């Protein structure tokens, strides 16, 4: 959680995040921003950490796939069509994302072929990226978080192109 107690004010979360991003873009510490200090109080503000450890990656993967299992669009693909065995799949995803984000070699396999049999459309990939970005943004900020989000967007784009559910755009 970014700020204790803020979860009860869900409508303010997006506005506060935008203010944090604007402060960062202006080179102003969030603690120095008078607008943020008035909204959340400087003592309550907690700086978000980056994805720097295997435990961070595990947290992202677990929360992300938890979100997928709750999602009305994606859950049927994972649960009903692919019938994912989560106990088997999650360790592979930890290794995959550890390699991408942290550079820790350990993933073996080819991620694309299993997706060729799935009845997916562009909106599935769009939703997958949205959930991934939302998961990362909820708890992390920094180069590792950006690397993870950029990789997720690139993977989704590549898979969608290879499956023919997205056209080239120049």
Q: Encode pLDDT of 89-145 as tens digits.
A: 999 999 999 999 999 999 998 988 888 888 888 899 999 999 999 999 999 999 999
For residues 62 and 115, state if they share a domain.
Answer: yes
**Per-residue pLDDT band at 53 (split at 50, 70, 90):** very high
Task: Give the separation between CA 96 and CA 105, rounded to whole angstroms.
Answer: 9
For residues 36 and 60, state if they share a domain.
Answer: no
- Overall domain count for the chain: 2
Residues with Cβ within 8 Å of 82's Cβ and at least 6 positions away in sequence, in order, are 114, 118
Residues with Cβ within 8 Å of 120's Cβ and at least 6 positions away in sequence, in order, are 77, 163, 165
Residue 160, classed as helix, strand or coil, is: helix
Establish if 119 belongs to a structural domain. Answer: yes
| CATH code: domain of residue 153 | 1.10.490.10
Question: Is pLDDT at 13 greater than 70 in this prediction?
Answer: no
For residues 12 and 73, state if they share a domain.
Answer: no
pLDDT digits (tens, 9 = 90+) for 66-87: 999 999 999 999 988 889 899 9
pLDDT greater at residue 13 or residue 140: 140
For residues 31 and 68, state if they share a domain.
Answer: no
For residues 131 and 90, state if they share a domain.
Answer: yes
Q: Residue 27 corresponds to which tokens in the numbers above? A: 């080179």
For residues 157 and 74, state if they share a domain.
Answer: yes
Write a three-state SS string for 40-102: HCCCCCCCCECCCCHHHHHHHHHHHHHHHHHCCCCHHHHHHHCCCCHHHHHHHHHHHHHHHHH
Host domain of residue 16: 6-40
pLDDT greater at residue 84 or residue 42: 84
- Partnered with residue 49 across adjacent β-strands are 140
For residues 95 and 135, state if they share a domain.
Answer: yes
């Amino acid at each position: 959680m970014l700020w204790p107690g803020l979860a009860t004010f869900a409508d303010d979360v997006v506005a506060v995040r935008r203010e944090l991003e604007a402060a960062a873009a202006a080179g102003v510490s969030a603690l120095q921003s008078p607008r943020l200090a008035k909204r959340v109080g400087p003592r309550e503000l907690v700086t978000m950490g980056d994805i720097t450890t295997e435990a961070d990656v595990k947290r992202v993967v677990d929360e992300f796939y938890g979100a997928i299992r709750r999602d009305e669009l994606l859950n049927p693909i994972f649960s009903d069509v692919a019938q994912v065995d989560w106990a088997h799949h999650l360790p592979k995803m930890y290794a995959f994302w550890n390699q991408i984000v942290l550079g820790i070699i350990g993933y073996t396999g080819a991620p694309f072929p299993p997706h060729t049999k799935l009845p997916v459309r562009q909106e599935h990939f769009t939703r997958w990226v949205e959930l991934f970005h939302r998961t990362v943004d909820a708890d992390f900020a920094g180069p590792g978080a950006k690397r993870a989000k950029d990789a997720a967007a690139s993977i989704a784009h590549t898979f969608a192109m290879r499956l023919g559910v997205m056209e080239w755009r120049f």
